[in-house]
């Protein structure tokens, strides 16, 4: 029985192209605009590289300034790490297209509550966004914020607070998360709270290693659901959308 397609009044979801070869095709346009997405995987999976390429291509190819809030690596280290890919983070910063903030978390800041102070982060991040009129934000990695929280209820509430703040700011955000034992992430809640979840994997079979990307979840959008091989080479990341929609 054919159902007449009604034209809905509500706005459809709009998307922000990452500029990463293949990925925008699989997702039919990129990441959800103005919403936070999660990219997770093991150490070396390519989370940081994907995030930086999202910011760099945003700045250079789509004219959207971006903020990188890095908890693990310093600005200079990030610059060095991607320079061989032809990404000139230093210049982009000078041109006001990228803002890198390396947040240094001290033992003492965790010791009491087991988590980093979110309100402080909001002030700092708000300042960074406003200063360059950022449309894109990267937080690398989320474990630095909540690593010591063990109560699931509270963790969920705090995750939602962070995600809501980012939505309210209207920025398209990419948050990186470390792989957990049996869940996508270490604490196993982030993937439920997020609007869009990407999993990067590094599979070793018969001694040969393959990198694979999968869009685990994308609220409000059709997308390719298979595992797509991807490469990291001198040009950055390229995903092979072998079959882009199943």
Question: Which residues lie near ligand ADP (CB under 6 A)?
Answer: 41, 43-49, 81-82, 84-85, 217-223, 232
Return the number of the residue (127 or 192) whose C-beta is nearest Mg ion: 192
Cβ of residue 191: shortest distance to ligand ADP, in angstroms? 8
User: With contact defined as beta carbons under 8 Å apart, do 246 and 225 qualify?
Assistant: yes
Task: Report what 95 binds from a copy of itself, ligand ADP, Mg ion, none; CB cut-off 5-8 Å by kind.
Answer: none
Return the number of the residue (49 or 129) whose C-beta is nearest ligand ADP: 49
Task: Report what 168 binds from a copy of itself, Mg ion, ligand ADP, none; CB cut-off 5-8 Å by kind.
Answer: none
Return the number of the residue (169 or 214) whose C-beta is nearest a copy of itself: 214
Cβ of residue 209: shortest distance to ligand ADP, in angstroms? 10
Cβ of residue 185: shortest distance to a copy of itself, in angstroms? 10
Cβ of residue 190: shortest distance to a copy of itself, in angstroms? 9
Any residues with CB less than 8 A from the CB of 243 and at least 6 apart, and which? Answer: 224, 226
Among 45, 31, 15, smallest CA distance to 237 is for 45
Return the number of the residue (57 or 179) whose C-beta is nearest Mg ion: 179
- Rounded to an integer, what distance in angstroms lies between the CA atom of residue 198 and that of residue 36? 12
Task: Report what 63 binds from ligand ADP, a copy of itself, Mg ion, none; CB cut-off 5-8 Å by kind.
Answer: none
User: With contact defined as beta carbons under 8 Å apart, do 195 and 35 qualify?
Assistant: yes
Among 131, 73, 78, 126, smallest CA distance to 104 is for 73
Cβ of residue 126: shortest distance to a copy of itself, in angstroms? 20
Give the interface with Mg ion as residue ranges (CB under 5 A): 47-48
Task: Report what 41 binds from ligand ADP, a copy of itself, Mg ion, none; CB cut-off 5-8 Å by kind.
Answer: ligand ADP
Beta strands in the chain (DSSP E): 15-16, 31-32, 36-41, 66-70, 98-102, 136-140, 172-178, 196-205, 208-218, 227-233, 236-239
- Rounded to an integer, what distance in angstroms lies between the CA atom of residue 161 and that of residue 73? 25
HSE of 121, CA atoms in CB hemisphere, 13 A = 25
Cβ of residue 17: shortest distance to Mg ion, in angstroms? 22
Return the number of the residue (132 or 221) whose C-beta is nearest a copy of itself: 221
Return the number of the residue (76 or 130) whose C-beta is nearest ligand ADP: 76
Taking the CA atoms of residue 34, residue 115, residue 74 and residue 79 in that order, the dihedral angle to the nearest 10 degrees is: -30
**Strand (E) or helix (H) holding 164:** helix 152-169
Task: Report what 156 binds from a copy of itself, ligand ADP, Mg ion, none; CB cut-off 5-8 Å by kind.
Answer: a copy of itself
- Rounded to an integer, what distance in angstroms lies between the CA atom of residue 12 and that of residue 22? 23
């Amino acid at each position: 029985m054919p159902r007449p397609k009604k034209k809905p009044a509500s706005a459809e979801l709009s998307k922000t192209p990452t500029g990463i070869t293949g990925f925008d095709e699989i997702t039919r346009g990129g990441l959800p605009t103005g919403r936070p997405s999660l990219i997770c995987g093991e150490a070396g999976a390519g989370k940081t590289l994907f995030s930086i390429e999202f910011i760099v291509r945003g700045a250079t190819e789509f004219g959207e300034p971006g903020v990188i809030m890095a908890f693990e690596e310093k600005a200079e280290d990030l610059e060095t790490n991607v320079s061989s890919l032809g990404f000139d983070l230093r210049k982009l910063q000078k041109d006001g297209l990228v803002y890198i903030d390396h947040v240094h978390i001290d033992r003492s800041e965790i010791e009491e509550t087991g988590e980093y102070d979110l309100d402080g982060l909001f002030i700092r991040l708000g300042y960074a966004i406003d200063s360059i009129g950022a449309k894109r934000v990267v937080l690398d990695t989320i474990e630095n914020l909540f690593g010591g929280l063990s109560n699931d209820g509270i963790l969920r509430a705090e995750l939602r607070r962070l995600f809501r703040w980012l939505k309210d700011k209207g920025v398209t955000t990419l948050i990186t998360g470390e792989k957990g034992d049996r869940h996508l992430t270490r604490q196993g809640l982030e993937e439920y709270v997020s609007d869009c979840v990407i999993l990067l994997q590094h599979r070793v079979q018969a001694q040969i290693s393959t990198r694979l990307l999968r869009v685990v979840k994308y609220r409000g959008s059709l997308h390719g659901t298979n595992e797509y091989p991807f490469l990291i080479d001198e040009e950055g990341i390229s995903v092979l959308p072998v079959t882009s929609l199943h």
